[in-house]
Each structure stands twice: as structure tokens, then as C-alpha cells.
Structure 1
Amino acid sequence: MNIMALDPGRDKCGLAVLNDQGEILWRQVIETKALEEFAIARAREHDPVCLIMGNGTTSKEAEGRLKKVLPGMTLKVVDEYRTTEEAKKLYWQVNPPKGWRRFLPVTMQVPPEPVDDLVAVILARREIDKGPV
């Protein structure tokens, strides 16, 4: 049973697909204007049972757009509280600092790329941790 998750944003979105164990099957930061295209492609490829979406920036607009292109999919809007901070920590777990940067605490470092896709991962994992989605 797979789950798609979205961190909606004005210019870019984080989109991820996880299995029901919380393992990442696919994740990417995408342009918001390409949201429908990527959501449809991931739905066809991974057949998710639902879409978990953060309640932040432009969530109402994204929800409307996705309901049009994925009419049969259950869509659940969830709280995004502190997900960006969690995503930054997760980024450094996935991409440990190298060279002299490994001596600096990761809390003092800024990831060199957007972490919106990892925010989507965190949103999905939060729902998985609550029990059956």
C-alpha cells in the first residue's frame, strides 16, 4: 500500500511516494506549474491509496488542482508544523556533510538544495505513524 505526499508551495512543491512502512519509493522537488503532470505520473507508476498534503502555502489551490486530475484518490490535508526543521535534519542524515563541514554541527549548516521533497516524506511518515492511512 503506497502513499503519495505533497508539500505545496507557490513556485515549487515537494512530492514523494512512500510505502506503508515509510520507505521512500520516489521523491523530488518540482515546479508548482507541473504539479498535475507529476502527480498523475506518480499515481500511475506507484498506485497510491491516498495523497497526504500539507496545509501550508497555496494548499487550497493545490487541493483543487489535484482533485480535478485525481478524482478517485482520497486526499487528506494535514498540519505542516515544524516540518521544514525536520526536513533539514533528515537532509543531513541522507547526505552527511563531507570534508571540513563534517566538523560543524548540522544545525549550523543550511542544506545546499531545497528540502520540500523531504517535507513531503515527513508528512507521509507522520500519517503512517498514526496507524492505517
Structure 2
Amino acid sequence: MYLGLDPGIQKFGWAFLIEENLLCSGISKTTCIGLFMEKVKKSHWGYLDDSVLEGKLESLAGKTVDQVFLGNGTGGNLFRSSLSEDFPEVVVVDERNSTLDARSIYWNLHPPRGWRRVLPLSLQTPPRPVDDLAAYGIALKGMRFKKEKEI
């Protein structure tokens, strides 16, 4: 299983996926990164229950994280030092345009309804923060980079 992280100063997005399938994602406070990584390392998924925005926490049962993809943006260095002990092979990913990608992912998961269908998506803002979907996009980008590197 893969973990994508979108680091920020006050909050960070996280997403767990297998291959390209999003299992579960959410947003947590940056001050909790140490505890978050401790729980992830031990597969104590119940800790994340209040933070889940997409997918189901139950889909993580019995799974462990094999690879971490970390965005190189704001706060990335703080996260890297927190990850280095438990996940020495963190793949740092260029997170340019990750918010725009996250908005697109959001609208694919939750197509507009009613009168919003006639408004171009580029003029609409998702009704919630999309840091978790940015983390999902970062993981997807990291997976593609890793595959290209292996070829």
C-alpha cells in the first residue's frame, strides 16, 4: 500500500492507495505528524477515524505502508525528518499544480448537481479543503515517476 502526503504549515493531506485506487484519505493538523506516522507504522487505523474525507477506513485493515510519497512544498523538510526513522526510502515528488489536480479529482469523485452542472468546473471551488486529494495526486505522480525510472 502507498501513502501520499501533501505537507502544509497548519494541516496536511494524506491518502492511502493500492495501485491507483484510492482507499482512504483525509486531512490532519501538522502538529500531529509524529503521532500520525507512529499510528501508520503500527497500522492503528482507528486513530484516523475523525479525519477521513474520502473512502473507508475499513479498507486499510490488515494492510501496511510499503512506500511513502511526499510533496516537496511548504513544510516538506519538517515532514521528511519525521518520516526518516520509520520510512527511510521516502520519494519526494514535485507538487506543482497539485491543488488544481486535487480540484479536478474532487469533481470527478463528486460531479456537480443541479444548476452547478452548467457552470464550468474551472469557475467552481470544491466545498471543502482538498489537501487529501492533493496527497492522492502526489502519490499518483510519484508512482508514475518511479515506474519511468525503473524502465
User: For the superposition of Structure 1 and Structure 2, which TM-score range results when normalised by the shorter chain?
Assistant: 0.7 to 0.9
Displacement of 1:38: 2.4
Task: Give 4+ residue runs of structure 1 displaced > 6 Å after superposition.
Answer: none
Instruction: Report how far residue 41 of structure 1 moved.
Output: 2.5
> How far 1:44 sits from its partner (Å)?
3.2
CA separation in 2, counterparts of 1:40 and 1:96? 35
Count the aligned residue pairs.
128
Contact 1:92 1:111 in 2 (8 A): yes
User: 1:11 aligned to 2:10?
Assistant: yes
1:128 maps to what in 2? 143
Question: Is residue 61 from structure 1 mapped to residue 78 from structure 2 by the alignment?
Answer: yes
Deviations 1:42-67 (A, max 9, x none): 34333111111000001001111222
Q: Which runs of 5+ in 1 are unaligned?
A: none
Return the match for 1:25 from 23, 26, 30: 23
Return the TM-score normalized by structure 2.
Answer: 0.78
Distance 1:104 1:12 in 2: 30
Q: Are 2:112 and 1:97 aligned?
A: yes
CA RMSD of superposed structures (Å):
1.5
User: In 2, Cα distance between the equivalents of 1:126 and 1:58?
Assistant: 19
TM-score using structure 1 length: 0.87
Alpha-carbon distance in 1 for matches of 2:79, 2:143: 22
Q: 1:30 to 1:17 in 2, by over 3 A?
A: same
Q: Which amino acid aligns with 1:24?
A: L
How far 1:73 moved relative to its partner? Answer: 4.3
| 1:114 matched to 2:136 | no
Q: What percentage of aligned pairs have identical amino acids? A: 33
| Ranges in structure 2 where 5+ consecutive residues have no aligned partner | 44-62
